[in-house]
Amino acid sequence: MNQEPKVSVLMTLYNKGEFVVEAIGSILKGTYHDFEVLVMDDASTDDGPAKVRAINDPRIRLVTSEKNGGRAAAANRGYESARGEYIAVLDADDSAHPERLAKQVAFMDAHPEVGVCGTAARYFGAREGIDRWPATDPECRAKLLFTDPVLYGSSIIRRSVLIENNLRSNEQWHLPAEDYIFMIRVSGYARFANLPEPLLNYRIGEQNQRHGRDQVHDKEQVCRYVFGFYGIVATDEEFALQLMFHKLKKGTFNSDRVRSLWNWRAKLIAMNRSRQLFPAELFEKHVEYCWDTAYYLLADGGIGAAITHMRLSGKWPLDRLMYFMKVTLRRCMRRG
């Protein structure tokens, strides 16, 4: 391959030999052809590298490492080795829709102001369904304090954004959500967008980094990092309250603690109005969504917490009243 490809498909590989041929095959069989597949092996101990070598296609480059350094380190080597104008990420246990690269390249060529573009994802394996990310940059930024602006495994990135701003993954971070932390850093130098089509097939199973881990612990560490990145000061209790906005509960919630959650909601809104970190109207809309959806987790825990939530909200919607009756009946049946 003498001519530099338009796209470098970046795939980090560590002991995913069971899936890697399918992942690479999904790119090779796609409708777009001006690419290289850059496989960064992180000292795998299975047959993954051998399976990659056995694929007879000159567009595949396998780069091996003698020492396992973690996914972030492997990704960084990939950013530095990539030759394409764009870097399209694909995890070794996922697969791409045949038109993924064609549609993302066309979008990026037509929108030079966008630095990173993701897509919707179709989940398969242990769980099935489709998830979508916000379409526009302001919508993505409004949620940055809570979640990733794009699904990293579906993203296509202008390589110039990474090179010119020396943006790399955090090799010291070994918990889940390193991709999110990376995109938080990228957000200072690039605009985001997401295509609505599910152009990534995302495998859910035991091979996922999050599988079998303590979600509450991991998410709290992520929250602490992200809040620190933005210089937002919070107490231990406020971080515990923030977890409720991620549909995770730390400790029990009585009426007093629900009122604390209500006050934390107001504090986040006031903080952003003062500092203008995120698009205000969209940020507040998302905070209200987090508060509203916290009701269901609170209702599962106790009658008093559920009633306090509805009272503070100033509304008693039928769906929440129905849910309240259902969990109350279930609780009574268990006691009986």
What is the mean pLDDT of the segment spanning 102-118? 98
Q: Which amino acid is residue 233, in one-letter code?
A: V
- Tokens representing 265 are 């909601």
Q: Which amino acid is residue 30, in one-letter code?
A: G
% of the chain exceeding 70 in pLDDT: 96
The pLDDT of residue 126: 84
In sequence order, the 6+-apart residues with CB closer than 8 A to the CB of 13 are: 20, 39, 40, 41, 42, 44, 48, 49, 52, 74, 92
Rounded (10°) CA dihedral 27, 29, 35, 38: 40
Given a cut of 50, whether residue 44 has pLDDT beyond it is yes
The pLDDT of residue 326: 84
In sequence order, the 6+-apart residues with CB closer than 8 A to the CB of 148 are: 133, 177, 179, 180, 183
The pLDDT of residue 330: 75
The per-residue pLDDT for range 255-311, each reduced to its tens digit, is 999 999 999 999 999 999 999 999 999 999 999 999 999 999 998 888 889 899 999
Under the banding of pLDDT at 50, 70 and 90, the label for residue 1 is: very low
The pLDDT of residue 205: 75
The pLDDT of residue 302: 81
Given a cut of 80, whether residue 212 has pLDDT beyond it is no
- Tokens representing 257 are 């603690």
CA distance 209 to 179: 12
Residue 323: exposure state from Cβ atoms within 10 A (0-12, 13-18, ≥19): middle
% of the chain exceeding 90 in pLDDT: 85
HEC profile of 245-301: CCCCCCCCCCHHHHHHHHHHHHHHHHHHHHHCCCCHHHHHHHHHHHHHHHHHHHHHH
Q: Which amino acid is residue 93, in one-letter code?
A: D
Polymer length in residues for the chain: 336
In the chain the domains, ranked by start, together with CATH numbers, are 7-204 (3.90.550.10), 215-335 (no CATH)
The pLDDT of residue 234: 98
Average pLDDT across the chain, whole number: 94
The per-residue pLDDT for range 147-205, each reduced to its tens digit, is 999 999 999 999 999 999 999 999 999 888 999 999 999 999 999 999 999 999 999 97
